[in-house]
Structure 1
Amino acid sequence: MEQRRITMSDIVVGKPLPWDVYDSNNKLLLRKGHVVQREQQVETLIVRGLFVTAKRDGAASAQGAAATARHTERPSALRLINLATKRLERLLFNLHSESELHPKIVEVIAAIKFAVDTNPDVALACILMNQDAGSYPVRHSVDCAIVSLIVARAMNKPAHEVQDIMAAALLMNVGMLRHHEELHHREAPLSDEEHGVIRSHPEESVSLLRGAGVVDENVLSYVLLHHENEDGSGYPFGKGSADIPENAKIIAMADRYCARVSSRLYRKSMLPNAALRDILLTEKKNIQPMLAACFIRELGTYPTGTFVRLVNGEVGVVTGRGSSTTTPIVHALVGPRGAPLSFPIRRETHKELHAIREVLHESQAGVRVSMQQLWGAEASL
Structure 2
Amino acid sequence: MSYALIDLENINEQSYENLLALWADLEAALNSALQHPDRVGDFPTKLAELRRWLEDMIQQDSDTALYLMFQLASTSMAGYSASHALVCASLCHMVAPPLGLGPHERVTLLHAAMSMNIGMTGLQDELALQTERPTLLQEQAIQDHPQAGVQLLRSLGVIDPLWLEVIAHHHTPPAERLPLQSLNTTQRLTRVLASIDRYAAMISPRKSRPDRSVGDSLRAIMGQRFDPRDEVGKALAATAGLYPPGTLVKLDTQEIAVVLRRTQEPKYPMVAGIIDSKGRPYERPPLYLTASGKPRIINSLPLSAISFSLDHRTMVSLGLFTARQAAGTQG
Q: Does 1:355 align with 2:296?
A: yes
SS in 1 for 2:284: strand
The number of equivalent residue pairs is 308
Range 160-169 or range 188-197, more displaced: 188-197
The alignment status of 1:343 with 2:274, answered yes or no, reads: no
- CA distance in structure 1 between the partners assigned to 2:44 and 2:65 by the alignment: 23
Match of 1:331 in 2: 272
1:274-353 equivalent positions in 2, closer than 5 A = 274-281=216-223, 289-353=230-294
Residue identity opposite 1:210 in structure 2? R
Q: Which residue of 1 aligns with 2:52?
A: 110
Distance change (3 Å), C-alpha of 1:290 and 1:359: closer
1:7-26 paired onto structure 2 within 5 Å? 7-10=1-4
Selected match of 2:33 from 75, 91, 99: 91
Q: What is the distance in 1 between the residues matched to 2:10 and 2:300?
A: 40
State whether residues 92 and 109 of structure 2, in contact with CA within 8 Å, keep that contact through their aligned partners in structure 1: yes
Corresponding residue for residue 222 of structure 1: 166
Q: CA contact under 8 A between 1:320 and 1:328: conserved in structure 2?
A: yes
2:202 aligned with 1:208: no
Residues 206-285 of structure 1: pairs in structure 2 closer than 5 A: 206-231=150-175, 242=183, 244-281=186-223
* 1:106 CA displacement: 1.3
Distance 1:103 1:288 in 2: 37
Q: 2:23 maps to what in 1? A: 81
What is the deviation of 1:278? 1.6
1:132 aligns with 2:75: yes
Could you tell me how far apart the structure 2 residues matched to 1:211 and 1:373 are?
A: 45
Give, in whole Å, the separation in 2 of the partners of 1:196 and 1:331. 45
1:160 aligned residue: 104
2:170 and 2:190 in contact (8 A); partners too: yes
| CA offset digits 1:12-62 (Å, max 9, x no partner) | 7xxxxxxxxxxxxxxxxxxxxxxxxxxxxxxxxxxxxxxxxxxxxxxxxxx
Deviation of 1:101 (Å): 0.9
Q: How much has 1:164 moved relative to structure 2? A: 1.5
1:56-111 CA-to-partner distances (Å, cap 9, x unmatched) read xxxxxxxxxxxx99989777554322211111111122212333111111111111
- Report 1 or 2 for greater relative contact order, CA contacts < 8 Å, sequence distance ≥ 6: 2
C-alpha separation in 2, matches of 1:108 and 1:187:
32
1:9 alignment partner AA: Y
How far did residue 137 of structure 1 move?
0.6
Letter of the 2:300 partner, please give it.
V
1:310-364 per-position Cα deviation (integer Å, ceiling 9, x unaligned): 2233321111212422211112234445454443332111223211123334454
Higher share in strand: 1
Q: Give 1:160 deviation, angstroms.
A: 3.0
Measure, in 2, the Cα distance between the counterparts of 1:302 and 1:378.
15
Contact 2:99 2:232 in 1 (8 A): no
Per-residue CA deviation, residues 139-172 of structure 1 (Å, 9 max, x unaligned), is 1111110011011133343333322111111111
**Greater Cα shift, 343-352 or 115-124:** 343-352
User: Contact (CA 8 Å) 2:203, 2:302: kept in 1 or not?
Assistant: no
Q: What CA distance in whole angstroms lies between the structure 1 residues aligned with 2:80 and 2:55? A: 21
Q: Percent identity?
A: 23
Report the aligned-residue RMSD. 3.1
Residues 319 and 231 of structure 1, relative CA distance in 2, 3 Å threshold: same
Q: Give unmatched runs, 5+ long, in structure 2.
A: 177-181, 321-331
Distance 2:166 2:108 in 1: 8
> For the residues of structure 2 that align with 1:338 and 1:105, how far apart are their CA atoms?
44
Offset of residue 295 of structure 1: 1.5
In the other structure, the counterpart of 2:327 is none
Local SS of the residue matching 2:291: coil
Q: TM-score, normalised by structure 1?
A: 0.72
**Relative to structure 1, is the Cα distance of residues 78 and 151 closer, same or farther in structure 2, using a 3 angstrom cutoff?**
farther
More helix by share: 2
Query: Comparing 149-158 with 214-223, which one deviates more in the overlay?
Result: 149-158
1:206 is aligned with what amino acid? V
Distance change in 2, residues 1:363/1:172 (3 Å) = closer
Task: Determine if contact 1:118/1:378 at 8 Å carries over to the other structure.
Answer: no
Q: Distance in 1 between matches of 2:302 and 2:120?
A: 30
